[in-house]
């Protein structure tokens, strides 16, 4: 009987090892560092947002987010890295959806919208056009009048050859058909602001978060924002819509969020979506976002997927209409 009991104990042990152990030992996802690839240079708005999230993930869950900024190529090299990454839930992209949607629709990049899954929207950013304070320019009309009066002297800079701002500017320039305004491309919003600070460009077309410190310091004059109404933090800055006519063409919020390689398991998508939601609902994260000039605009994967597809179609139509 003792021998039978020993055999039974061994059998039960093996059974637990063979069947129960995998479930018991299975570590919660994610159980190793997660890479977030940003298709812009360091120091810009997306980099700031990602690092705030990384701090929360580390402190709250001991999850490491490796933030990789890879600017240039209108975002294509960075997003190709995401598309080609192992679809195991450990690599995500963090693009601006408008820029992400533009590049593959006018040149071969090795990927298209179908190579990605939406994970979660993190923030929307308003576009803003600023000039150096020393220019004396106070509004949009003055800027374009000066550009018309002195051809070749004025230009504007954005963070990429196919940036959201450059595409948006094509619609603005329709209101000023006699103006030739060359576009200068940089790799990040930080670089754009630095160029304007050094007076290497005539105007910087970025997002409010990147330009706010320079407006607050008195170095920049912000002459237009892409919101529907004037922003609370910039009550003296008129909107594009206000200056160019009551047309929703001049209203645009740049959506930013996480995308994953298309074969990433839904379980990983949902887990990361829920972690992002938790982070964006945290009061300390919200305070840091607010201090940086960011808004927490969470959307879950299903809703963000609709936003991604809608912006893809809108950008494609805009590119075609403007002969990019």
DSSP characters over 5-37: HHHHHHHHHHHIIIIIHHHHHPPPSP-S-EEEE
Q: Residue 224: enclosing H or E segment and its boundaries?
A: strand 220-225
CA distance 188 to 263: 29
Beta strands in 247-287 (DSSP E): 253-261
What's the pTM value of the predicted model, to 2 decimals? 0.79
Collapsing DSSP to helix, strand or coil, 184 comes out as: strand
CA distance 158 to 193: 9
CA distance 324 to 322: 6
CA distance 166 to 174: 13
Q: Pick the closest to residue 129 from 37, 221, 65, 1 (CA basis).
A: 221
CA distance 273 to 258: 9
CA distance 169 to 166: 5
CATH fourth-level superfamily of 34-124+254-321: Bordetella uptake gene, domain 1 (3.40.190.150)
Contacts with 204 (C-beta within 8 Å, 6 or more apart), sequence order: 129, 130, 131, 156, 157, 192, 193, 195, 196, 211, 220
* CB distance 253 to 226 below 8 Å: yes
Class of domain 126-250: alpha beta
Domains 34-124+254-321 and 126-250 share a fold: yes
Q: For every one of its 324 residues, what pLDDT tens digit does the chain have, with 9 covering 90 and above? A: 444 444 444 434 434 344 343 433 346 899 999 999 999 889 888 999 999 999 999 999 999 999 999 988 888 999 999 999 999 999 999 999 988 999 999 999 999 999 999 999 999 999 999 999 999 999 999 999 999 999 989 999 998 888 889 989 988 998 899 999 999 999 888 899 999 999 999 999 999 988 999 999 999 999 999 999 999 889 999 999 999 988 888 998 889 999 999 999 999 999 999 999 999 999 999 999 988 888 999 999 999 999 999 999 989 998 888 888
Structure tokens at 21: 């152990």
Rounded to whole angstroms, what are the CA distances from 95 to 30, 180, 191, 203, 253? 21, 30, 17, 23, 14
Pairing of strands 91-93, 156-158: unpaired
Domain boundaries, the chain: 34-124+254-321, 126-250
Number of H-type helices and E-type strands within the chain: 13, 9
């Amino acid at each position: 009987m003792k021998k039978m009991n020993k055999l039974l104990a061994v059998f039960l042990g093996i059974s637990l090892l063979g069947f129960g152990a995998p479930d018991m030992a299975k570590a919660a996802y994610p159980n190793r560092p997660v890479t977030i690839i940003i298709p812009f240079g360091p120091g810009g708005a997306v980099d700031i947002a990602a690092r705030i999230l990384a701090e929360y993930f580390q402190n709250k869950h001991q999850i490491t987010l490796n933030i990789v900024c890879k600017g240039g190529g209108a975002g294509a090299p960075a997003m190709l890295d995401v598309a080609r990454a192992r679809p195991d839930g450990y690599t995500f992209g963090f693009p601006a959806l408008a820029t992400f949607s533009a590049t593959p629709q006018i040149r071969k990049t090795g990927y298209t919208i179908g190579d990605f899954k939406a994970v979660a929207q993190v923030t929307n950013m308003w576009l803003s056009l600023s000039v150096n304070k020393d220019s004396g320019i106070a509004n949009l009309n003055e800027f374009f009048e000066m550009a018309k009066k002195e051809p070749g002297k004025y230009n504007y800079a954005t963070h990429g050859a196919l940036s959201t701002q450059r595409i948006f500017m094509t619609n603005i320039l329709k209101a000023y058909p006699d103006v030739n305004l060359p576009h200068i491309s940089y790799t990040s919003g930080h670089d754009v602001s630095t160029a304007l600070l050094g007076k290497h460009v005539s105007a910087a077309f970025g997002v409010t978060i990147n330009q706010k410190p320079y407006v607050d310091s008195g170095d920049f004059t912000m002459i237009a924002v892409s919101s529907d109404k004037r922003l609370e933090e910039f009550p003296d800055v008129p909107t594009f819509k206000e200056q160019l006519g009551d047309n929703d063409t001049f209203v645009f919020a740049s959506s930013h969020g996480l995308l994953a390689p298309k074969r990433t398991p839904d379980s990983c998508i949902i887990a990361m979506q829920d972690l992002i939601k938790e982070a964006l609902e945290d009061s300390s994260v919200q305070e840091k976002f607010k201090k940086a000039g960011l808004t927490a605009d969470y959307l879950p994967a299903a809703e963000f997927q609709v936003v991604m597809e809608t912006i893809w179609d809108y950008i494609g139509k805009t590119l075609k209409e403007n002969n990019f």
